[in-house]
Structure 1
Amino acid sequence: MLVLKDIHKVYGKDKKRVEALKGINLEVGKGEIFGVIGFSGAGKSTLIRCVNLLERPTSGQVLINNVDMQKLPPRHLRKERKKIGMIFQQFNLLNAKTVFKNVAMPLIIDGRPKQEIEKKVNELLSFVGLSDKAKQYPEQLSGGQKQRVGIARALATDPHILLCDEATSALDPDTTQSILELLKKVRNELGITILIITHEMNVIRDICDKVAVIDGGVIVEQGSVLDVFSEPKKEITKNFVRTILNDEIPPTIKTFIKTKHQHSDSHYMYRVLFKGASANNPLLSNIAKQFPVDVNVIHGTITELQGIPFGNLIIELQGKPEDIKQALAFIKQQEVIVKEVDIHAT
């Protein structure tokens, strides 16, 4: 559907040369919601603007349905751009126009017949839940309602891809959730592929199928949301994941455990990650029943990723070494990820 191949974007020359993107490779499948997350200045806004060629890459290819966008003549490029909708952080609405006219603007510019415009706009306003706001002006709307207008406007030309540039950053948490639900509705009911950039990990958790982490113009990690959340490899990714999972042992508990084990070279502490159905299994209870060991839960969280339960527990196993070894072997046979935790190294 959407493929970015070795995208580079350079601004300026010589001493003023800034390389905003450094060989970006991404592939977004049809019907996916793909998130790109990064801190301010990481290059994510430049990346999304390269997709519709608002920014032309210095080198590399932007392929949409196997069409190389950069090779299209201007007339054909304008036609292809109609298949790419975009919504913005600050809504970008025309304050002097009604909600109806804001949504209708792409169709008016495209020269569509009046009856077609009226039918289409009314359908879109109903879809985003703003049928009763058609005659109002942007200043009369809340932030969430303004973004709904922006989404309706982006859908006016029946795009195949919807680009979201920090679409929820200006909204409060409750409104953010309602907009994310609307975007999922766009994908599920209209089959539109969505590429969303954000610095909010909760957006990735709640809406995305796949995620890429960008840092300094480079994609440092990417994969399914479940895989990236459960086994982040880069430190920047781990930091983002911690904002959602809070998987660090509280300092007071950490100090207590370190004191407890200060005269021991070995201890039996593990991080156990549960995905999907395994989150419903009574694993800890089964360990305590089957093996002569005590199970102490040090820290734990559970959340949901795209409707799939995901749990993160730090446990301590107490008992004889041979019993601990058998219990650990049992844990590893289950559908979980197990990692040893070195409390002295943290």
Structure 2
Amino acid sequence: MLLLDNVHKVYGKNKEKKVEALKGINLSVNKGEIFGVVGFSGAGKSTLIRCVNLLERPTSGKVLINGVDLLSLSKKELRQQRKKIGMIFQQYNLLHSKTIFQNVAMPLILDGKPKQYIKEKVTELLSFVGLEDRMSHYPEQLSGGQKQRVGIARALATDPDILLCDEATSALDPSTTESVLDLLRKVRDEFEVTILMITHEMNVIRDICDKVAVIEGGVIVEQGSVIDVFTEPKTGITRSFVRTILNDDTPHSIKELIKANSGKTYRIIFKGNSTNIPLLSDTAKNFSVDLNVFHGMITELQGIPFGNLLVNMNGDSEEITRAIQFMKDREAIVKEVTHDAL
């Protein structure tokens, strides 16, 4: 569906003033996926998403949609292709002098669609986003969440295959964010639209995305399914993002307790079916090891139960090795944790 192949974006012509915003981005988004790209400010997120529809033209690389490289198209061909790429903005980008109906209708008016078609299409879309009773209102009469719903309806007007969301929930409160995410999930399911989301909010990634890529300094440093990236983050920046959601920082008092105890400390992560197994109880029954849970939590990711525990393990080293293998055989992730890594 969407493929970014070794995409670079460099600003500035003078060697001394060049800024390399994207450094060889490789990204693949399958049809029907909700794919999130997360990163801090200045990481290259917005440049990346603007390169997808060529609002920013990559310096090099390829941007392919359904196998067609946008960089190879003429201006006329690109205009046609862009009709299949909708975009939702952080600040809504609504025309304040136009009614809600006129805002949603604007892409269709510019495309020269018949008035009756426009009326039916806009009415259908405003009903879909729950704003059919606001057609004659103006943007200033709406709440932030309602404005974003107008933005979503407008982005859907041309029946896009792909929807680009650039920090679409950043200006919204948590409750409104949740309702907008529910609407985007509905868009994916009912319109079969592929969604690429740019955000710095890890809770958005957790709640709606199927896959996630982490960008830092114009480079994708990690990507994969949300459940895999959350449960086994491989880079420091990813771990810092995940901690904002899972709240798995070890309290100081627990760190001191761990340091004072003998034996080794392990982080035990379990997800899906393994959460239904009395894992620690079964391990203690089957092996001559003492298990002491210092810290942990159980939550849910993408509808999948997920647990993260810090466990002290005492006993014969060979017995501990067998106990660890026992847990791994039951789909748990077990890693020794040093004091410095707590």
Alignment of 1:205 with 2:206, yes or no, is yes
CA distance in 2, matches of 1:311, 1:79: 48
User: 1:261-291 deviations in whole A, cap 9, x for unaligned?
Assistant: 4xxxxx2321111121111211122223333
Q: CA deviation at 1:335?
A: 1.2
Deviates most, 288-297 or 250-259: 288-297
Deviation, structure 1 residue 324:
3.3
Question: Would you say 1:9 and 2:5 are equivalent positions?
Answer: no
| Cα distance in 2, alignment partners of residues 64 and 35 from structure 1 | 17
Matched, 1:271 2:267: yes
Question: Does the 8 Å CA contact 2:38/2:214 hold for their aligned counterparts?
Answer: yes
Deviations 1:34-83 (A, max 9, x none): 11111100111001001101010111111111111111111111111000
1:323: how far off?
4.2
> Is the contact between residue 163 and residue 195 of structure 1 (CA under 8 Å) also seen in structure 2?
yes
Deviations 1:183-217 (A, max 9, x none): 11111111100000000111111111111111111
* Percent identical: 71
Shift of 1:9: 0.7
Q: Which is further off, 150-159 or 99-108? A: 99-108
Report the CA distance shift for 1:280/1:56 in structure 2 as closer, same or farther (over 3 A): same
CA gap 1:7/1:329 in 2 versus in 1, 3 angstroms: closer
Q: Which stretch has the larger CA shift, 331-340 or 38-47?
A: 331-340
User: In structure 2, what is the equivalent of residue 264 of structure 1?
Assistant: none
* Residue pair 2:258, 2:265 contacting (<8 A) in 1 also: no
Counterpart AA for 1:133 = R
Residues 1:56 and 1:322: Cα distance change in structure 2 (over 3 Å): closer
**Cα offset, 1:96, TM superposition:** 1.1
Give the deviation of 1:309 after TM superposition.
1.6
Out of 310, 313, 318, the position equivalent to 2:309 is 313
Inter-CA distance 190–272: structure 2 relative to 1 (3 Å threshold)? same
Q: 2: distance between equivalents of 1:345 and 1:228?
A: 19
SS in 1 for 2:10: strand
Partner of 2:297: 301
CA distance in 1, matches of 2:51, 2:65: 12
Alignment of 1:233-248 (within 5 A): 233-248=234-249
Name the structure 1 match of 2:334. Answer: 338
Q: 1:293: Cα distance to partner?
A: 3.5
Amino acid corresponding to residue 26 of structure 1 in structure 2: L
Tell me, yes or no, if the aligned pair for 1:35 and 1:195 is still in contact at 8 Å: yes
The aligned residue for residue 37 of structure 2 is 36
For residue 345 of structure 1, report the CA deviation from its aligned partner.
5.1
Pairs within 5 Å for 1:1-346: 1-14=1-14, 15-261=16-262, 267-343=263-339, 346=342
The Cα shift of 1:321 comes to 4.3
Instruction: Give the 3-state SS of the residue equivalent to 1:233 in structure 2.
Output: coil
Q: 1:317 aligns to what SS in structure 2?
A: strand
Tell me the TM-score normalized by structure 2. Answer: 0.96
Q: What is the distance in 2 between the residues matched to 1:106 and 1:345?
A: 53
SS of 2:97 mapped into structure 1: coil
- Helix, strand or coil: the match of 2:158? coil
Matched position secondary structure for 1:318: strand
Say which is worse superposed, 319-328 or 299-308, in terms of deviation.
319-328
Q: Secondary structure, in 3 states, of the residue corresponding to 2:95?
A: coil
The number of residues matched between the two structures is 341
The answer to whether the Cα contact below 8 Å between 1:249 and 1:298 also exists between their aligned partners in 2 is: no
Q: CA RMSD in A?
A: 1.4
Shift, 1:85, TM fit: 0.1
What are the ranges of 5 or more consecutive residues in structure 1 without an aligned counterpart?
A: 262-266
Change beyond 3 A, Cα 1:13–1:320 = same
Aligned counterparts of 2:224 and 2:35: Cα–Cα separation in 1: 10
> Which whole-Å CA distance do the structure 2 matches of 1:255 and 1:145 have between them?
49
Residue identity opposite 2:264 in structure 1: Y
Tell me the secondary structure at the aligned position of residue 163 of structure 2. Answer: strand
**How far off is 1:344 after superposition?**
5.1
How far apart, in 2, do the equivalents of 1:344 and 1:5 lie? 39
Following superposition, the deviation at residue 135 of structure 1 comes to: 1.3
* Local SS of the residue matching 1:211: strand
The letter for the 1-side match of 2:12 is G
Q: Is the 8 A contact 1:297 1:314 kept in 2?
A: yes
Instruction: Name the aligned partner's letter for residue 3 of structure 2.
Output: V
For 1:73 and 1:323, locate their aligned partners in 2 and report how far apart those are by CA, in whole Å: 68
Looking at structure 1, the residues matched to 39 and 45 of structure 2 have their Cα atoms a distance apart, in angstroms, of: 7
Structure 1 window deviating more from structure 2 (209-218 vs 240-249): it is 240-249
